[in-house]
Chain A
Amino acid sequence: MQETSSVNAPLLDVQGLSVSFSTDRGRVKAIDDVSFKVAEGEILSIVGESGSGKSVTLMSLLGLNDPKTTFVDGAVSFRGRHLLEMPDRELRRLRGKEIGLISQDPMTALTPVYTIGWQIAEQIRAHENVSKSAALKRAVELLAAVGLPNPDEAKDRYPHQLSGGMRQRAVIAMALSCNPKLLVADEPTTALDVTVQAQVLDLLLRLRDDFGSAIILITHDMGVVAEVADRVHVMYAGRIVEKGAAEAIFERPMHPYSWGLMASIPPIDGPRLPRLPSIPGMPPSPEAIPPGCAFAPRCRFARAACAERPPQRREGDHTVLCVLDAKEREELRASVLGEAVAA
């Protein structure tokens, strides 16, 4: 099956992914030339403000966008197989089996009229030739594995009879049901309150260790990222503007937008802030993205050169899309994050 058998071939390799939608106002590009890789067992976190295109990226990987209005370009290879060219029949065999999705809002992610046990068993039976009762038994085991109290009774509950945290656990159990190689989690904690968030993150970490699944974790919460990610990609207006190992990004962020994100991490116990206080303004909507650096209208350090597409600069495997050179970057970062980094 596996065409690329080299040892360190990534599990998922996305090259030059672009996504555009046809809307009433013509074609708009929501994702522009995005590339990233996920290794086996790795947790990659994609961060960015609301509307930066995180969900759209994930949905295009899974082929879940409406094909009539969505145009996807680029190359996505998963274990050596090309997802974008794959016929829907084949892609269906991967979805839910080798790639599991945990969606943004657990309150609406489950069909209201079926019990959670039924819904998990349905997924198992879609991919494996097992009896109903065997599938239900597996569902109970999975519910126990994600820490749902009383799993045997919980399997007969309908979604509306569970709390948000319990539903999210059920959704995670479902995503895990066929031992996927890759879990894509679209803001799995955003809709939950803080204590439940921490539990769900712990659960994801534990599952990575127990099941060995790689995880793409999408979020706009830098606190979440700091807790679990191995690598971090920062997304802004449909582009990945900075990529690097988690420590590198937190210690020496390279992009002015990342500086803003860092400066806006709320204190652990403090209230969450609705906006990013250190970055004025709003991210552009897809139809209004400027041709050069998309961040320029909000960037304190913008200059004439920023009207061109910014070059990629790198320090080891830490890369950034920005005109600032190494020396200037260090100075400006110190001026923005000085105390924060020192602390």
Chain B
Amino acid sequence: MVFAILQRLAQMLFVLFGISALVFLIFFATPGSDPAARIAGRNAAQETVEAIRKDFGFDRPLPVQYAIMMEKLFVSRDLTSFVNRGLEVVPQVMRAAPITLSLVFGAAVLWVVGSIAVGVLAAMTRDTIIDKGLMILALIGVSMPVFWLGELLNLVSQSRFHDTFLFSWVPGLGYKPFFDGPWLWFKTLVIPWFTLAALYIGIYGRVLRANLVETYQEDYIRTARAKGLSPSRVMIRHALRMSLIPFVTMFGMDFGVLVGGAALLTEVVFGLNGVGRLTYQAMLNLDLPMILATVMYASFFVVVTNALVDILYVVIDPRVRGN
């Protein structure tokens, strides 16, 4: 088991290397375009372009260019954005990352707990009013656009009813760091968490219910019932345990992508300057160094969560343990 995990970690490093090389090639070695000019941005002075060419070694062979770029990104961390008047890129990502992580972690807790509750309750009360009601709610959750839900909640909690006892606790928009006060941090993020989680509670709840209903057709569920176990034990220890395997796969993908910046809409609506927003602005400005940094950051999280999911598999499903 330990060997399998180490193997998976090594594989992860290899994948990260592959991604960085690929991203580098796409951005800086596309034939017919001058990377130095692209880094310098639109209407840059000729001297700047020359300085960049020298600094990044664009007059040297590709592998050297790649090495210099990685050195700037990971070792000296002084990769600079020229479009943004000399701002260093890495500290910006480092500042945005905790915001996105806070947002996505909290939402993930909500959506895992919420969707398991919805899925299990619906499957246990299958075909009754409760089941149908929950599935309709889940469908509503899936079909509400995030920006719409977010704006709606903002409207209610920030202006319309802000002065009533219901929402007077809601702080103004924008991120409040955890270490400046956990309680304030929590209060700022509750509504964004809920907004981001609504979609996933809907999707995961529906998928989990479908999986559970299917699992109930399995022979081992009949065995479990024939053993005289209580319905809740059959559900949780046998059916849910088996249905969690596909659940974990989905979770790994969605979580990685969200941490990587896909929570953009929620970040924008609630004024959270996270990675999604940073990437978005970099794209608007064609800020190549920043794009490179955020893409590397995003792929790091996607790859890491995938590796974690694979390791989790080994823990929850003995069949993939080999031997």
Contact = CB atoms under 8 A, between A and B. Distances in A.
Contacts of A171: 223
Contacts of A126: 227-230, 233
B241 A109 contact: no
A111 B237 CA distance: 10
A97 B316 contact: no
A171 B222 CA distance: 12
Contacts of B226: 62, 64, 95-96, 100-101, 103
Contacts, number: 76
B316 A111 contact: no
Contacts of B227: 95-96, 122-123, 126, 174
Contacts of B229: 92, 96, 122-123, 126
A158 interface: yes
B313 to A, nearest CB: 11
Contact of A64 (B126, B222, B241): B222
Interface string A57-97: 00100101000100000000000000000000000111111
Contacts of A111: 220, 223-224, 238, 241-242
Contacts of B242: 111-113
B315 to A, nearest CB: 10
A314 interface: no
Contacts of B318: 112-113, 158, 160
Contacts of A123: 227-229
Interface in B103-133: 126-127
A275 interface: no
B319 interface: yes
Interface string A1-19: 0000000000000000000
Interface string A162-176: 000000000100100
B219 interface: yes
Nearest to B238: A111
A126 B316 CA distance: 23
B47 interface: no
A65 to B, nearest CB: 10
Interface in B196-223: 218-220, 222-223
Interface string A28-66: 000000000000000000000000000000010010100
Contacts of A127: 228
A103 B223 contact: yes
Nearest to B221: A111
A108 interface: yes
Given A158-B318, A160-B318, A109 B220 contact: yes
A109 B223 contact: yes
A158 B317 CA distance: 10
Contacts of B187: none
Given A158-B318, A160-B319, A108 B228 contact: no
Nearest to A62: B226
A103 B219 contact: yes
A100 B319 CA distance: 27
7 contacts: A59-B222, A92-B229, A95-B226, A103-B222, A109-B223, A112-B318, A174-B223
Given A96-B226, A123-B227, A174-B223, 17 more contacts: A59-B222, A68-B126, A92-B228, A94-B228, A95-B227, A103-B222, A103-B223, A109-B220, A109-B222, A111-B223, A112-B242, A112-B317, A112-B319, A122-B237, A123-B229, A158-B318, A158-B319
Interface of A: 59, 62, 64, 68, 92-97, 100-101, 103-105, 108-113, 122-123, 126-127, 158, 160, 171, 174
